[in-house]
A and B are shown apart, each in its own frame.
Chain A
Amino acid sequence: MTAAVRPVESLVTRSASLETAVAGTAILVLVCGLLVLVGFPLWSLLSKSLYVRGEFAGLQNFIAYVTTPALSRSVINSLFVALVTTLIVVPIAFAYAYALTRTSMRAKGLLYATALVPLFAPSLLPAISLIYFFGNQGFLKSWMFGGSIYGPAGIIMAEVFYCFPHALTILVAALRLADARLYEAAEALGASRPRIFYTVTLGGAKYGLVSAVMVVFTLVITDFGIPKVIGGQFSVLATDVYKQVMGQQNFEMGAVVGVILLIPAVIAFLVDRLAQRRQVALVSARAVAYAPNRSPLRDAAALALCIVVSGIFLAVLGMAVWASFVTYWPYNLGLTLQHYAFEIADSSGWQPFFNSLEVAALTAICGTAVIFVGAYLVEKIRAFPVLRFVAQFLAMLPMAVPGLVLGLGYIFFFNAAWNPLNVLYGTIAILVLNCTAHFYTVPHITATTALKQIDPEFEAVSASLKVPFWRTFTRVTVPISLPAILDIAVYLFVSAMTTVSAIIFLYSTDTKLASIAAVNMDEAGFTASAAGMCVLVVLASMTVKLLQVLADRLLLDRLQAWRRR
């Protein structure tokens, strides 16, 4: 009896240790991958900032930076536009989110979708649109009262468009988490409406507000496309990095500006993480969902606000579309397709658009696979706590790193002569790697959240049934998480499609991307073609998003019969 049982047992023990080995190797590969994608490039950047012409110089570069007024001026400029944009965006986004979540106005779905439109455009699109509205030949130029759109005013207006949906999604999420019982309790205690609003509504959403403030601030500080197009002589940190690196080939000083750019982003990131952690503690499982009652006056006011805001967004997008078809602004407003013959404006022609589709698709496919598997390893494997902690840290890091800074780090790391990976330089592959790294954190959080909602005992049950974890991963975890996985893929596609910042340092003539082509065409004076390229990007991103919605409705419904009760 015993003799017959023993071989089976040793087989089981061996397969169990095989499982541990597979898990360990997978986590190790993940950590190494993240180090190459994020850790080493950042390290290269930090160390580069301490060198002058290859010699270690300590903080000399930083001293030079601070004592050059033309450069240090940008710090003030960047902080100024970021602050003003935040002060404009967050209150409006809050009102908009409040209208969407706490009133009974009509057409909520449509109005929410409209407000998210800017997510699908490269950041320079609103800048180009504003030039058509308020620029030297803009038809609303008189509204500027003699001021110029080229400078802080233009930057701030364009950034408002660009940042609004980011703030809105955060605030909608925060306001949606309302516990009706708190309102009932406050009313029962005889609190006045303003007091209820201040204590319950704002109180519940305060961490969401902090988060929105931090996200908007960071987005503005680190955005490159808008100040590049509409900034004129008004220099900000992001354009300084570009000028130092691409204009003057001063990589060390570029690295210094990059490090300075990193500081506010890291601070904002840390504050945001703290706020998020607190927010979780506020939500109780027993909360009763809040259902807004009808209030004609309030609902009408909310609807009016939302229509005005989303109307402006549509106008900005519409202007870019229109301008891309106008023959010769503003003298010949006849429509033409000539601006879409991109080879006139840029020798690469349509190639950048196809490159963008390729990079976005590859990022969506490879990035989603890596990020979801990575999140699974971090969240569900019980062994190797130290490695998992390192992986989690590296996965959260990209959120704090502005695209330009990461791009610069990539030049230093991947272009180094000693690095065997420098064969990647100038290929589509490095653009895909960079996009995956740059946008790693948000999908990682999405995946982690989805995984956290799955019963933590699935792995324990599988272990007791002697089913290896990868089998449960493919048979159970992935099918259950399919909606989240689709979400991640679409997010990565749209982000890779619209990004300007990181990849501006990494493309070659053969691998130029659509948004970069738009920047170049705008620089060369072919503004209409630049607008046209941006419109194509919007079209591609929105198509993919619509496909996701359709997939969610049709495909998932059919494939996932188990979700129906």
Chain B
Amino acid sequence: MTDEASKGVTGVAPYLRVRNLVKTYGTFTALDSVSLDVVAGEFVCFLGPSGCGKTTLLRAIAGLDPQTSGTIEQAGRDISNLPPPARDFGIVFQSYALFPNLTVAANVAYGLVSRGRPKAETAERVTMLLQLVGLSDQGAKYPGQLSGGQQQRVALARALATSPGLLLLDEPLSALDARVRIHLRREIKDLQRRVGVTTIMVTHDQEEALTMADRIVVMNRGAIEQIGSPAEVYRKPATEFVADFIGAMTFIPASALDDTHVKAGPLVFETAPFSIRQGSTVKLGIRPEEVRVRNLGADVPNRLDTRIEALEFLGAFARARLVPVVAPELQVTADFSMNALRDLSLVEGQSLTVSLPPETLRVFPVPQ
């Protein structure tokens, strides 16, 4: 676990080091020995379905819900048992938790005032922060008079006001409209890059994680399934769960022949290399968008004659259910752009030859 956790950060001392974190509520295990490193300046997303432990992990790092066992180090300091005020972080909640009776400026200044800095300095910093989040002219308003997206930015400015070493975002976008959400994604990411603050964001939205994170920590049932860059997590999902949770994937039951071939029914597929014992039952995973239909030479690997069983229109593309002619019990889902659909004039019931590029085919073990 430790080795895997440090992957991609070798050579740099991690800013945040989480080791063997366990959190139990009675008999329920919310975090099951989680280890993880975060490098300074990095934007890390905890991604997973609800109840996977991502928020629990965030709150443990903040000290809001202390772990049952395990250690957390921040900037070389053991913070495992410190109360939240003794730690160094800023936090934005899903509800924003803005103080409704204080103006936007007073909210942003909240953490500065108590530090006894000169008034002018505080005011200057508030102006700077409001400018940073694009709300320069809103300082005198109350949070209730702002839109959800604006409130979110105020919360962000307030969290950044005290220049914390670590910024924690707990599903910061999930209370917003889809359009505002997409807009704010980029804004937060830009802001984070400019400020350079190490950031951890919790989300259940894979798109959010893929577009914003430097690295994604995919979690399931209190444990980490995979840590990697968005491209890694998407292209080389380590487990069936990751493959299924991020993006779409068709799974075909198969058995392992050697380390690059599996057999599914009468068909043999060449795949990306894997290391599973020969003869084991496995699942073969295919991303719908990786199914090729054009420029297929005669010697292309994993060539397959199929029939289009169903065609579902989804706007920019169409999703087809393909049935191999020689093995009608197997089904492959494929996405075709509207362009391809038109050029090849695809219709339901038609025969279609496709190929499944070996480097995109993932093989997952099936637990016995």
Contacts and interface: CB of A to CB of B under 8 A. Distances in A.
A467 interface: yes
A457 B95 contact: yes
B328 interface: no
B26 interface: no
Contacts of B97: 455, 457-458, 460-461
Given A9-B77, A468-B114, A563-B144, A463 B100 contact: no
B164 interface: yes
B253 interface: no
A561 to B, nearest CB: 7
Contacts of B87: 464
B164 A464 contact: yes
A462 B144 CA distance: 19
Interface stretch (A12-20, A104-112, A506-514): A12-20
Given A15-B85, A461-B91, A465-B90, A471 B114 contact: yes
B114 A464 contact: no
B83 A466 contact: no
Nearest to A465: B111
Interface stretch (A89-97, A320-328, A474-482, A485-493): A474-482
A466 B99 contact: no
Contacts of B168: 464
A461 B93 contact: yes
A560 interface: yes
A252 B215 CA distance: 75
Interface string B163-186: 010001000000000000000000
Given A455-B95, A458-B97, A562-B144, A464 B102 contact: no
B14 interface: no
B83 A464 contact: no
- B77, B91, B114, B115 — which one has the most chain A CB atoms within 10 A of its CB? B114
A328 to B, nearest CB: 58
B101 A463 contact: no
B69 to A, nearest CB: 19
Contact of B162 (A19, A465, A468, A475): A465
A382 B65 CA distance: 9
A565 B101 contact: no
Given A455-B95, A476-B99, A13 B111 contact: no
Contacts of B320: none
Interface in A509-565: 560-565
Contact of B114 (A455, A465, A564, A565): A465
A9 B164 CA distance: 13
Nearest to A2: B76
A475 B145 CA distance: 20
A463 B63 CA distance: 10
Given A12-B85, A13-B82, A464 B93 contact: no
Given A455-B93, A462-B110, 20 more contacts: A12-B86, A13-B82, A15-B85, A19-B85, A455-B95, A457-B93, A457-B97, A460-B91, A464-B84, A464-B89, A465-B114, A465-B158, A466-B85, A466-B115, A467-B110, A467-B111, A471-B114, A475-B99, A563-B100, A564-B144
Interface of A: 9, 12-13, 15-17, 19-20, 382, 455, 457-458, 460-468, 471, 475-476, 479-480, 560-565
5 contacts: A12-B86, A17-B83, A471-B114, A561-B142, A562-B102
